[in-house]
């Protein structure tokens, strides 16, 4: 439904989005994850036809967003980050206006507006002025606006930002309910939300796509996993034993008792040496109290993908500078 | 043209519910009514030629208000407010053409402007009654004058839309539009005076003639003369500024 290829967007010298490519297929709920300023909103705006891409292509249900923008926009229901609504219109008037602007035929309009209000749960504020509704309702009015023409694709930019926990829960529930009928791409920097709702996540940082996959898979194959081993032997012996296993780097050793040691070792991405470790311990005749591959939480993973990669990059730049100075 | 029609209806609703429009209407009607009463009194007192009465109302202060200030005030919110509040994002990501939105907004401003003006025709009707003139006025020139007024205002409103699309500051948009109106009213005469003898610079003089909206008014429309070249000029002006507005909005997509 959404296909993005080598998409870049520059604002003058600033590169907001740098050559990202991804697909969203029908029926998926994709979380677009990244810290503030990572390029999420810019990517979404390009997809919705608000900004032109500097290079690369994006198609929505087969329509190119730059050459066939009108047809592409017909396929999308878009909820911007700060929901802008006209304060002098009533909620129902605003939705009727948006429905007619989106080409919902006059005889279906009343039903379409009622359906969108029911889905977003805003029937009780229908007669209120848009300027007088609370932030939570405002967000849901925006959501009803995105839904009113019943588009196949929903693009939601930070749908829960600035909401209290109850409102956030409510929006999450709405998004979950909508997943049955719509393909959804939604951005967020709150991990639990993405984890709860989405079937797949895209991690974007500094305009580049850092990861793409189901949340559990990303975590299971990430470099932030570690192996925890507790065995009945001196901690140094245990550490020596583990150091010999390929793909393991001993990170922390702690003697629990005179004859029981605990060692935590980082596991290289993509490998799972727990079976080998178990076998070695068995061969050495050491009783194993605990042998466990500890997966990072999505939060730790996110930190590693963003902050961690920043540190790597800074180190590389510093090395380059040193090398340059030496030359 | 669905987008234009929907935008038109929404904008008309905004104009009709906005306090600014009501303030403009009240100020204009009070001022206009008071000025027309004074002029009618003078005509009765000096037994003036009543057929000249409508023409003498065109140069009143309230006309100046309507032509100089009101177009800028009506159109200042068109796009500047949408940009300021961010609603331009939802507007431009809806499946409508930029040109339709621009045309709808301009049409609503022009229609509301016409609504503000039309009651002054009824004032002329009332003035035909016994306590005032008690005689018929010639309405041909009046209609020609109103046509001219709408053509001119249409162009000024189109410029107002353009000014509004350039900034997210509502006040700046209004000031830009007013400066343009003022320049259009004063500059062609001033420049014409610098041109030297009649017969020199023929084309420049012709162009300035067309641009000289005050003279178009006093020498043509107000006398009941309608020249197709002037209609073409004002319609062209409307299309030109609406085109510029569309380009200004779309530049975000072309960039």
pLDDT in tens, B232-249: 888 999 999 999 999 998
Highest mean pLDDT among A85-99, A210-224, A246-260, B191-205: A85-99
pLDDT digits (tens, 9 = 90+) for B44-87: 777 767 667 766 776 777 777 788 888 899 999 889 999 888 88
Q: Say whether residue B85 is in contact with chain A using an 8 A CB cutoff.
A: yes
- E strand residue ranges, A214-315: 226-231, 248-257, 260-267, 288-294
Q: If you average pLDDT over residues B156-170, what whole number do you get? A: 92
Confidence grade of residue A321 (pLDDT, cut at 50, 70, 90): low
Long-range pairs for A242-248 at CB < 8 Å and ≥24 separation? Answer: A242/A277, A244/A280, A245/A273, A245/A276, A245/A277, A245/A280, A246/A271, A246/A273, A247/A271, A247/A273, A248/A273, A248/A277
pLDDT digits (tens, 9 = 90+) for A103-145: 999 899 999 999 999 988 889 999 999 889 988 888 889 999 9
CB contact under 8 A, A51 and B14: no
Q: If you average pLDDT over residues A207-211, what whole number do you get? A: 86
Count Cβ atoms within 10 A of the Cβ of residue B53 and give its class: 0-12 exposed, 13-18 middle, 19 or more buried. Answer: buried
Nearest chain B residue to A82 by CA: give it. B86
Size of interface A-B (CB pairs under 8 A): 71
Task: Write down the mean pLDDT value for chain B.
Answer: 83
Q: Say whether residue A8 is in contact with chain B using an 8 A CB cutoff.
A: no
Give the Cα-Cα-Cα angle A201, B87, A90 (nearest 5 degrees).
105
Residue A311 has pLDDT above 70, yes or no: no
Nearest chain B residue to A71 by CA: give it. B95
Task: Write down the mean pLDDT value for chain A.
Answer: 85
Closest partner residue to A73 among B18, B88, B94, by Cβ? B94
More confident residue, B181 or B45: B181
Residues A203, A210: contact at Cβ < 8 Å? Answer: yes
Q: Say whether residue B19 is in contact with chain A using an 8 A CB cutoff.
A: no
Cα(A19)–Cα(A10) distance, integer angstroms: 11
**What does the pLDDT read at residue B230?**
83
HSE, side-chain direction, 13 A CA sphere, residue A71: 9
Confidence grade of residue B172 (pLDDT, cut at 50, 70, 90): very high
Residues of A in contact with B12 (CB under 8 A): none
Residue window 34-63, chain B: list those with CB within 8 Å of chain A. Answer: none
Nearest chain A residue to B16 by CA: give it. A88
Residues A172, A143: contact at Cβ < 8 Å? Answer: no
Neighbours of B110 (CB within 10 A): 21
From the CA of B145, how many Å to the nearest CA of chain A?
Answer: 36
Residues of B in contact with A50 (CB under 8 A): 89, 92-93, 252-253
**What does the pLDDT read at residue B132?**
66
Query: Which residue in A320, A311, A309 sits closest to A34, CA to CA?
Result: A309
More confident residue, B95 or A241: B95
Closest partner residue to B95 among A50, A52, A73, by Cβ? A73
The two beta strands, A248-257 and A226-231, are: unpaired
Q: Two tokens at A56?
A: 């690369």
Residues of B in contact with A76 (CB under 8 A): 93
In chain B, the percentage of residues whose pLDDT exceeds 70 is 89
**What does the pLDDT read at residue A160?**
83
Count Cβ atoms within 10 A of the Cβ of residue B150 and give its class: 0-12 exposed, 13-18 middle, 19 or more buried. Answer: middle
Confidence grade of residue B100 (pLDDT, cut at 50, 70, 90): very high
Confidence grade of residue A220 (pLDDT, cut at 50, 70, 90): confident
Residues 6+ apart with CB under 8 A from A224: A296, A300, A301, A304
Residue A35 has pLDDT above 90, yes or no: no
**What does the pLDDT read at residue A312?**
60
Query: Which residue in B199, B208, B175, B223 sits closest to B55, CA to CA?
Result: B223
Residues 6+ apart with CB under 8 A from B8: B104, B105, B107, B108, B111
Query: Which residue in A36, A17, A22, A20 sits closest to A189, CA to CA?
Result: A36
Residue A21 has pLDDT above 90, yes or no: yes
Poorest-confidence range of A59-68, A154-163, A315-324, B155-164? A315-324
Residues of A in contact with B96 (CB under 8 A): 70, 101
* Domain spanning A226-294: CATH 3.30.70: yes
Helix (H, G, I), strand (E, B), or coil: what is residue A212? strand
Q: Looking at domain A2-220, which of 3.40.50.2000, 3.40.50.300, 3.90.1180.10, 3.40.50.620 is its CATH number?
A: 3.40.50.300
Residues B28, B62: contact at Cβ < 8 Å? Answer: yes
Q: If you average pLDDT over residues B161-173, what whole number do you get? A: 92
Report the domain count for chain B. 1
**What does the pLDDT read at residue A327?**
46
**What does the pLDDT read at residue B112?**
92
Choose the mutation target among A16, A43, A45, A50 for the interface with B, i.e. most B CBs under 10 Å.
A50
**What does the pLDDT read at residue A322?**
62
**What does the pLDDT read at residue A216?**
75
Range of the domain at B150: 2-254
Cα(B139)–Cα(B72) distance, integer angstroms: 29
Give the full edge-to-edge strand order of the sheet including A208-213. A76-79, A153-157, A183-188, A29-33, A200-205, A208-213
Q: If you average pLDDT over residues B108-129, what whole number do you get? A: 83
Cα(A64)–Cα(A67) distance, integer angstroms: 6
What are residue A5's phi and psi, to 5 degrees?
Answer: -130, 120
CB contact under 8 A, B6 and A86: no
CB contact under 8 A, A84 and B7: no
CB contact under 8 A, A49 and B93: yes
Q: What Rg value do the Cα atoms of chain B yield, rounded?
A: 20
pLDDT digits (tens, 9 = 90+) for B10-30: 999 889 888 888 998 898 888
More confident residue, A172 or B58: A172
Residues A256, A262: contact at Cβ < 8 Å? Answer: yes
Domains A2-220 and A226-294 share a fold: no
pLDDT digits (tens, 9 = 90+) for A2-13: 999 999 999 888
B51: which DSSP letter? G
**What does the pLDDT read at residue A178?**
87
Domain extents in chain A? 2-220, 226-294
Instruction: Note the pTM of the prediction, 2 decimals.
Output: 0.82
Q: Say whether residue B6 is in contact with chain A using an 8 A CB cutoff.
A: yes
From the CA of B158, how many Å to the nearest CA of chain A?
Answer: 22
Longest dimension (CA), chain A: 81
Cα(A287)–Cα(A308) distance, integer angstroms: 36
Give the Cα-Cα-Cα angle A286, A290, A294 (nearest 5 degrees).
135
Nearest chain B residue to A105 by CA: give it. B2
Residues A66, B68: contact at Cβ < 8 Å? Answer: no
Q: Two tokens at A89?
A: 């219109």
Neighbours of A184 (CB within 10 A): 25
Cα B51 vs. chain centroid, distance in angstroms? 25
Q: Say whether residue A86 is in contact with chain B using an 8 A CB cutoff.
A: yes
């Amino acid at each position: 439904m959404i296909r993005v290829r080598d998409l870049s967007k520059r604002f003058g010298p600033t590169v907001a989005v740098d050559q990202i490519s991804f697909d969203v297929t029908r029926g998926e709920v994709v979380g677009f994850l990244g810290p503030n300023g990572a390029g999420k909103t810019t990517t979404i705006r390009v997809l919705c036809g608000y900004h032109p891409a500097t290079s690369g292509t994006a198609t929505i249900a087969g329509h190119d967003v730059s050459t066939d923008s009108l047809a592409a926009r017909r396929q999308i229901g878009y909820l911007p980050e700060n929901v802008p609504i006209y304060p002098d219109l009533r909620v129902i008037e605003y939705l009727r206006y948006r429905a007619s602007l989106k080409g919902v035929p006059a005889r279906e309009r009343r039903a379409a507006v009622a359906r969108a209000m029911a889905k977003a749960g805003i029937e009780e504020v229908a007669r209120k002025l848009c300027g007088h509704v609370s932030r939570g309702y405002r967000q849901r009015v925006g959501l009803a606006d995105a839904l009113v023409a019943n588009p196949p694709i929903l693009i939601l930019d930070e749908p829960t930002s600035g909401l209290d926990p109850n409102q956030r829960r409510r929006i999450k529930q709405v998004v979950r309910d909508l997943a049955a009928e719509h393909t959804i791409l939604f951005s967020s920097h709150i991990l639990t939300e993405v984890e709860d709702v989405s079937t797949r996540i895209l991690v974007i940082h500094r305009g580049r796509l850092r990861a793409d996959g189901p949340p559990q898979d990303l975590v299971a194959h990430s470099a932030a996993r570690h192996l925890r081993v507790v065995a009945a032997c001196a901690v140094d012996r245990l550490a020596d034993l583990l150091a010999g296993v390929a793909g393991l780097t001993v990170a922390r050793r702690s003697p629990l008792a005179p004859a029981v040691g605990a060692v935590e070792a980082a596991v290289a991405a993509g490998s799972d040496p727990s079976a080998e470790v178990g076998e070695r311990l068995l061969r050495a005749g050491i009783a194993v109290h605990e042998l466990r591959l500890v997966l990072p939480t999505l939060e730790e993973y996110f930190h590693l993908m963003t902050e961690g990669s920043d540190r790597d990059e800074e180190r590389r730049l510093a090395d380059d500078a040193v090398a340059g100075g030496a030359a | 043209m669905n987008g234009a029609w929907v935008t038109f209806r929404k904008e008309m609703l905004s104009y009709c519910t906005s306090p600014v429009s009501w303030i403009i209407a009240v100020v204009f009607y009070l001022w206009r009514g008071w000025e027309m009463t004074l002029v009618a009194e003078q005509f009765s007192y000096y037994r003036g030629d009543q057929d000249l009465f409508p023409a003498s109302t065109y140069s009143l202060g309230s006309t100046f208000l309507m032509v100089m200030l009101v177009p800028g005030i009506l159109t200042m919110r068109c796009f500047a407010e949408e940009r300021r509040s961010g609603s331009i994002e939802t507007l431009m990501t809806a499946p409508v053409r930029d040109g339709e939105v621009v045309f709808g907004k301009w049409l609503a401003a022009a229609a509301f402007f016409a609504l503000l003006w039309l009651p002054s025709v009824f004032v002329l009707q009332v003035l035909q009654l016994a306590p005032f003139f008690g005689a018929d006025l010639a309405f041909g020139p009046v209609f020609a004058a109103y046509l001219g007024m709408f053509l001119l205002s249409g162009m000024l409103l189109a410029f107002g839309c353009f000014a509004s699309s350039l900034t997210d500051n509502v006040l700046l948009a209004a000031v830009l539009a007013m400066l343009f109106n003022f320049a259009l009213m004063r500059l062609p005469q001033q420049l014409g005076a610098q041109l030297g003898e009649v017969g020199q610079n023929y084309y420049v003089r012709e162009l300035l003639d067309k641009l000289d909206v005050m003279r178009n008014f006093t020498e043509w429309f107000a006398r009941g003369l309608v020249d197709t070249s002037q209609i073409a000029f004002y319609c062209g002006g409307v299309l030109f500024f609406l085109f510029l507005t569309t380009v200004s909005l779309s530049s975000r997509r072309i960039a």
